[in-house]
């Protein structure tokens, strides 16, 4: 990536700070060298070639799918052991007439082509057979149709931006999809308290853009921000890349509005920071994945927006060094640390294939033309990469902190190579080398995703163990197309103890799935980890909840579901 400030190692004796765009080769062999990210202010005066990069949102995760939605196998065929509950009513023309009367003709989707986007998930792994999707505009309309469904034993799938990664957002059989896409207004914002009240169908990035104008930030950020809805975020208790800084939605969501399975409107949209009267019911909906009701409104606390941010992208020689670097970042960058993400080299190889450009740490000796499109060859041999974001209110102070941190980690040998962004476009580009992994992982046909919490020291062991396991089973080859698996990659939110283990396949198949499950879950259980750190249970992990929750917990969860939804109409075949 030309134009990025390259971190340079230079002999200790001289001043540490020097801007450089020189390649890794020029310093990698300097013994006892000292890290330098350059005199940052001076560096920014360099003549940096600005690239025509769009903001993060423009990375269109949906247009680069590998399979057309029609090619996706029906969930009911892929998983014939899951049977349709015969107690659920099949939709009739009378039902459609009722929905049209309640919502207006245009908000009742029955066209087969149009229904595809409601039936097929983002991974192109699950495909339902819903014959109708509803798009109510108000909470009263949601209530009306949900009440009708409950009375008539019609199963429902609540849907947001349909970016979920566990098959929770699409029907398994012919459940009615209720999308909150038409409920997409900001209701109010209090500039003093930072409390935002909004409809569940607001796209997360739109919420953040609204807040940016007010000097605030949405306390959550993730790769699907341009497509996912805030209601979906709350329903999945999404974590994302800034949880490290802003904490979980269990802390920032102050209130909710939701339609319960019998049509009752539950409203706790108040904006109280403190309220110790009775059970904190809203918490139940956070992470309930559409099984307790349809979230229609959210009240959320939004912190002040940092004025400056910067991103460093580093190459490291071992997973131990990743951990050491995280420890150092937490203690040295402290209050300005806003993200610490890690990815293995294999993940970066996938990203390079998707993005179609040379890696940010490719040496200057790499001649992009000679790669002839083989951008994977530009990814340096470091087994691990780390993206660090700092954000604060004083540029000089933040830069100084980042600079001193980078000096220390390079001096101590924890970090071997790196680059620092010099403007927003470069920041966005560096982020792409992390966030594009989700999409890139399915570039060869599909991806089995495992999103686990583990003790930090054990995180990468799981990737190696699973790779060995699949190799022993003779299922894996990067080049032999007769093998179903292309590679096993690992990346994630290391600061949160959250690994994304992705098994990249040429196609979805039972052979691979049976090799992976319950094997992966057993490995996670061994370390008392969680089989779902952030994506949820959905359809994929419904049967595996017991690897993380004990029988008492399971009993209470099932009781809770029965209490809220005795007929079981809300997102059946998922979660519990």
User: Which stretches of the chain bind ligand FAD, using CB under 6 A?
Assistant: 61, 122, 157-165, 168-169, 180, 200, 222-224, 228-229, 231-233, 235-236, 238-241, 289-290, 294-295, 438, 534-535, 538, 571
CB of residue 117 to ligand FAD, shortest distance in Å: 11
- Could you tell me the CA-to-CA distances from 569 to 87, 157, 171, 218, 412 in Å, in that order? 10, 9, 12, 32, 58
Tokens of 181: 């896409």
The length of the chain, given as a count of residues: 576
Smallest separation, CB 441 to ligand MLT (Å): 7
**In the complex with ligand FAD, which residue's Cβ is closer, 198 or 366?**
198
Q: Give the DSSP letter of residue 56.
A: G
CA distances from 296 to 137, 238, 284 (A): 10, 17, 15
Give me the least distance between CB of 540 and ligand MLT, in Å please.
13
Name the site residues for ligand MLT (rule: CB under 6 A): 223, 438, 449, 451, 492, 500, 534
Longest dimension (CA), the chain: 83
- Select from ligand MLT, ligand FAD, none the partner in contact with residue 122, using the beta carbon and a kind-dependent cut-off of 5 to 8 Å: ligand FAD
Q: Which residues contact 480 (CB under 8 A, 6 or more apart)?
A: none
Question: Which residue, 38 or 293, has its beta carbon nearer to ligand FAD?
Answer: 293
- Least distance in Å: CB of 499 to ligand MLT? 9
Q: What angle do CA 489, 495, 497 make, to 5 degrees?
A: 60
CA-CA distance, 221 to 309, in Å (whole number)? 14
User: Which residues have a Cβ under 8 Å from the Cβ of 242 and sit 6 or more positions away?
Assistant: 219, 220, 221, 338, 339
Of 299 and 438, nearer to ligand MLT (C-beta) is 438
| Residue whose C-beta lies closest to ligand MLT | 438
Q: How far is the CB of 74 from ligand FAD (least distance, A)?
A: 19
Residue 289 or 407: the one with the smaller Cβ distance to ligand FAD is: 289
194 makes contact, choosing from ligand MLT, ligand FAD, none, with CB < 5 to 8 Å by partner type, with none
User: CA-to-CA distance for 229 and 569, rounded, in angstroms?
Assistant: 22
User: What are the angstrom distances between the C-alpha of 219 and each of 300, 439, 536?
Assistant: 9, 23, 19
Chain residue whose CB lies nearest ligand FAD: 232
State the minimum distance, in angstroms, from the CB of residue 218 to ligand MLT.
Answer: 16
**What secondary structure, in 3-state letters, does 515-562 show?**
HHCCHHHHHHHHCCCECECCCCCCCCCHHHHHHCCCHHHHHHHHHHHH
Residue 571 contact among ligand MLT, ligand FAD, none, beta carbon within 5 to 8 Å by kind: ligand FAD
Residue 295 contact partner, candidates ligand FAD, ligand MLT, none, CB within 5 to 8 A by sort of partner? ligand FAD
* Closer residue to ligand MLT (CB): 150 or 438: 438
Task: Report the distance separating Cα 557 and Cα 575, nearest Å.
Answer: 10
CB closer to ligand MLT, 23 vs 223:
223
Which one of ligand MLT, ligand FAD, none interacts with residue 158, CB within 5 to 8 A by kind? ligand FAD
Residue 500 near which of ligand FAD, ligand MLT, none (CB within 5-8 Å, type-dependent): ligand MLT
Nearest CB to ligand MLT, comparing residues 231 and 568: 231
Measured at the CA of 139, the angle between CA 137 and CA 141, to 5 degrees, comes to: 60
The CB-of-451 to ligand MLT minimum distance in angstroms stands at: 6
| Binding-site partner at residue 523 among ligand FAD, ligand MLT, none, CB < 5 to 8 Å by type | none
CA atoms within 13 A on the CB side of 9: 23
């Amino acid at each position: 990536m030309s134009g990025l400030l390259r971190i340079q190692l230079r002999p200790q004796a001289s001043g540490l700070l020097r801007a450089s765009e020189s390649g890794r080769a020029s310093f990698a062999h300097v013994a006892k060298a000292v890290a330098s990210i350059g005199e940052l202010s001076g560096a920014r005066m360099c003549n940096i070639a600005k690239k025509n990069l769009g903001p993060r949102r423009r990375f269109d995760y949906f247009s680069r799918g590998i399979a057309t939605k029609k090619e996706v196998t029906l969930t009911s065929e892929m998983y014939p052991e899951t049977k349709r509950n015969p107690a659920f009513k099949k939709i009739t023309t009378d039902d459609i007439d009722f929905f049209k009367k309640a919502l207006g003709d245009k908000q009742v989707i029955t066209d087969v082509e149009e229904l595809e986007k409601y039936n097929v998930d983002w991974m192109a792994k699950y495909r339902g057979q819903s014959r109708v999707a509803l798009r109510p505009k108000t909470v009263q309309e949601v209530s009306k149709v949900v009440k009708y469904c409950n009375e008539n034993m019609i199963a429902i799938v609540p849907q947001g931006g349909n970016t979920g990664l566990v098959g929770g957002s699409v029907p398994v059989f012919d459940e009615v999809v209720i999308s909150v896409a038409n409920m997409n207004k900001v209701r109010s914002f209090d500039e003093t308290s930072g409390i935002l009240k909004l409809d569940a169908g607001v796209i997360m990035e739109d919420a953040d853009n609204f807040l940016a104008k007010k000097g605030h930030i949405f306390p959550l950020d993730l790769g699907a921000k341009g497509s996912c809805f805030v209601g979906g975020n709350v329903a999945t208790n999404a974590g994302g890349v800034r949880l490290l800084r802003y904490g979980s939605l269990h802390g920032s969501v102050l209130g909710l509005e939701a339609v319960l399975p019998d049509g009752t409107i539950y409203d706790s949209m108040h904006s109280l920071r403190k309220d110790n009267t009775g059970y904190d019911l809203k918490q139940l909906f956070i992470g309930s994945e559409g099984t307790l009701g349809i979230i229609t409104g959210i009240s959320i606390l939004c912190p002040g927006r940092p004025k400056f941010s910067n991103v460093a992208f580093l190459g490291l020689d071992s997973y131990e060094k990743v951990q050491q670097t995280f420890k150092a970042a937490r203690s040295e960058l402290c209050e300005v640390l806003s993200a610490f993400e890690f990815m293995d080299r294999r993940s970066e190889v996938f990203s390079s294939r998707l993005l179609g450009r040379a890696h940010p740490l490719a040496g200057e000796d790499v001649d992009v033309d000679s790669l002839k499109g083989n951008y994977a060859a530009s990814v340096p041999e470091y087994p691990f990469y780390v993206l660090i974001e700092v954000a604060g209110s004083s540029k000089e102070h933040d830069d100084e902190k980042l600079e001193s941190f980078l000096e220390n980690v390079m001096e101590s040998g924890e970090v071997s190579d790196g680059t620092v962004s010099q403007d927003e476009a470069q920041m966005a580009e560096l982020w792409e080398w992390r966030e594009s992994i989700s999409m890139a992982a399915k570039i060869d046909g599909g991806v089995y995703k495992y999103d686990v919490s583990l003790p930090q020291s054990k995180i990468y062991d799981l990737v190696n163990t699973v790779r060995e396991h699949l190799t022993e089973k003779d299922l894996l080859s990067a080049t032999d197309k007769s093998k179903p698996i292309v590679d096993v990659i690992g990346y994630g939110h290391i600061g949160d103890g959250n690994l994304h283990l992705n098994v990249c396949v040429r196609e979805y198949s039972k052979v691979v799935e049976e090799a992976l499950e319950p094997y992966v879950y057993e490995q996670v259980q061994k370390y008392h980890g969680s089989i779902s750190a952030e994506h949820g249970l959905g359809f994929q992990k419904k049967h595996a909840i017991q690897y993380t929750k004990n029988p008492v917990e399971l009993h209470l969860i099932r009781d809770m579901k029965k209490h809220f939804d005795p007929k079981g109409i809300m997102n059946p075949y998922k979660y519990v």
